[in-house]
Structure 1
Amino acid sequence: MRMGLAANAIHHDHDDAALFRWLRASERGIRELNLSLHAVGRTYAAIERVGLLAGYAGLVRYPYGHEGGLMKLVAEVVGMPQPERVLDGAIYLINPVDPSSTFPEAVALKRQCVIHQKPFISTVASARDWIECERIHAGFAPDPGADSLFALEDQTIALIAHDAMKPQMLAYATDHFELLSRFARRVGTGTTGQHLNELAWSRGWPQDKPWVERYQSGPMGGDAQIADMVLERRCQRAIFFEDPHVARQHEADIQLLERAVTTVTDETVCMTAPRVANRWAEAVRRRSAWR
């Protein structure tokens, strides 16, 4: 498995920065999975500087960002003719106030991951969560250090989908209804939340009790309302099925939610594609079966 890796400067400019917190928590899993990390130049240099992943052949240096390193990751997420130049996703630890996070190559990296149904991982919590899920799929015993990420009964999850992705969200909720019902609380934007409540009521959920707490629709500010929950550490996980093919009038609101997630990088997990979310759900089931 090959993953692109990049981190904005704030995430590797001191010894306890986000990149290193993730690597210290997940280095064992990275080695167990024999995961190839294709790191852009400055991120690669930072990892070498602090001595993490020492001697690990799976850490591969790419050019610096200003030399096209991030652009190369985008192309390899799409897929190149050479098998060794195909990435299975990308880990990009974003500083939401760094202008480089809005550069075309940064935006394109996420967009192509969503289009090709590959993981786009932008927070420490998401990166830790993803490593643990892949460990479970590979047959390794659960890492107790990741237990808090999977304490669903103590968490709030946001379920959001753009118009073209609402059928996929309903299908996802149908397939994983019992799993999603384990969360202490489910929240969603207007229309998606209503559809999910109707689904839950058809499945026997009490008619006088909403399965999803509905906020405003996205264009009316629902994304901003949920972003506030994220910033206050009251929402720990978001499944946000994005449609990357349409221009959206409320693009700023969508970006606000994404920026909120990356602001609380250690606390919030976000998934943006049905295939990724389905793989997570299966890993949760397998992990629970170990207990």
Structure 2
Amino acid sequence: MLLGLAANRLHHHTEDAALFAFLRACEPGIRELQLGLHAVGRTHDAIVAAGLLQGYAPLVRYPYGRDGGLMKLVAEVVGMEGPGRTLDGAIYLIDPVDPSSIFPEALALKRQCVIHGKPFLSTVASARDWVEMERIHAGLPPDPQADGLHDYGAQTLALIAHDAMKAEMLAFADRHFDVLSRFSHRVATGTTGLRLNELAWNRGWPTDRYWVQRFHSGPLGGDAQIADLVLERRCHRVIFFEDPHVARQHETDIQLLERAVTTATYDAVCTTSPKVAQRWCEAARRREAGV
């Protein structure tokens, strides 16, 4: 597997920065998986200076962002001819107040990951969760350091889907109802929440209880309400099935939620691809069963 790797300056300019926290926690898993990392220049240099991933050949340096490094990662998510020129996803640790986080190449990196069903990992928690998920699928034993990410009984899950993705979200919830029901609390925006509750009741969930707590619809502020939960560390995992092909009137609200997730980088896991969400549910079952 190959991932692009980039981090805004906030996340690599001190010894305890987010990039280093991620690598210290996941370096054994990265080596076990032989995960290839195409790291944008300054991110790569910070890793080397910190003495992490020493002697690790699959860590490859790309140009600085100003020289097109992030643009090259976008092209490789889409897929380029030549060996090692197609990425399976990207880790981009975002500082939500860094202007470069809204440069066209930064936005395109996420958009192309969503379009191609590949992981876009914008927080420390998301990146750690993904590495553990792939370790489980590779048949490796669970990492005790990742137990907190899988303590679903103490977590709140948000389920959000744009109009074109609502049927996909309902199918996903139906297929993985057992895993999603392990969370202590579930929240959703307007119509998605209504349909998820109807699905749950049809599956035998007690009719006097809501399976999800409904907030406003996205255009009326539901994304902002869930963003507040994320900022207060009261929502721990967001599954957000986005339609990247349609202009949304409430685009700023969507961006607000995404910025909230990256602000809570150590605590919030965000999944934007149905394919990745499916793989996570399968890993969650296997991890609990110990297989």
Secondary structure of the equivalent of 1:85?
A: coil
Secondary structure, counterpart of 1:276 in structure 2 = helix
1:71 aligns with 2:71: yes
Report Cα offsets for 1:38-89 as digits up to 9, x if no partner.
Answer: 0000000000000000010110000000000000000000001224100000
**C-alpha distance in structure 1 between counterparts of 2:118 and 2:178, whole Å:** 25
The residue correspondences of 1:9-48 to structure 2 (distance < 5 A) are 9-48=9-48
Unmatched 5+ stretches in structure 1: none
- CA distance in structure 2 between the partners assigned to 1:36 and 1:277 by the alignment: 22
Which whole-Å deviations, capped at 9, do the CAs of 1:250-275 have from their partners, x for residues lacking one? 00000000000000100000000100
Amino acid at match of 1:4: G
Structure 2 partner of 1:254 = 254
Cα deviation digits, residues 213-249 of structure 1 (max 9, x gap): 0000000000000000000000000000000001000
1:97-176 matches, within 5 Å, as: 97-176=97-176
In the other structure, the counterpart of 1:194 is: 194
Q: CA RMSD in A?
A: 0.6
| SS of residue matched to 2:216 | coil
Give the distance between the partners of 1:280 and 1:197, measured in 2 at CA: 22
TM-score, with normalisation over the residues of structure 2? 0.99
CA distance in 2, matches of 1:246, 1:264: 27
Which secondary structure does the structure 1 equivalent of 2:207 belong to? coil
Q: Take 2:14 and 2:84, find their aligned partners in 1: how far apart are those partners? A: 32
Shift of 1:125: 0.3
- Matched residues in 1 for 2:134 and 2:285: separation? 13
Distance 2:138 2:102 in 1: 35
Supply the AA of the counterpart residue of 2:101: S
Kindly indicate whether residue 20 of structure 2 is the aligned counterpart of residue 7 of structure 1.
no
1:278 maps to amino acid: Q
Q: What does residue 227 of structure 2 align with?
A: 227
Distance in 2 (CA, whole Å) between partners of 1:193 and 1:116 is 26
Matched, 1:264 2:264: yes
Q: Distance in 2 between matches of 1:155 and 1:281?
A: 15
Matched positions, count: 291
Q: CA deviation at 1:112?
A: 0.2
Question: Which whole-Å CA distance do the structure 2 matches of 1:156 and 1:83 have between them?
Answer: 41
Which sections of structure 2, spanning at least 5 residues, go unmatched? none
Q: For 1:144 and 1:49, how far apart are their aligned partners in 2?
A: 28
The TM-score with structure 1 as length reference comes to: 0.99
Post-superposition offset of 1:15: 0.6
CA distance in 2 between partners of 1:155 and 1:16 (Å): 26
Which SS does the other structure have where 1:53 is aligned?
Answer: coil
| 1:216 equivalent in structure 2 | 216
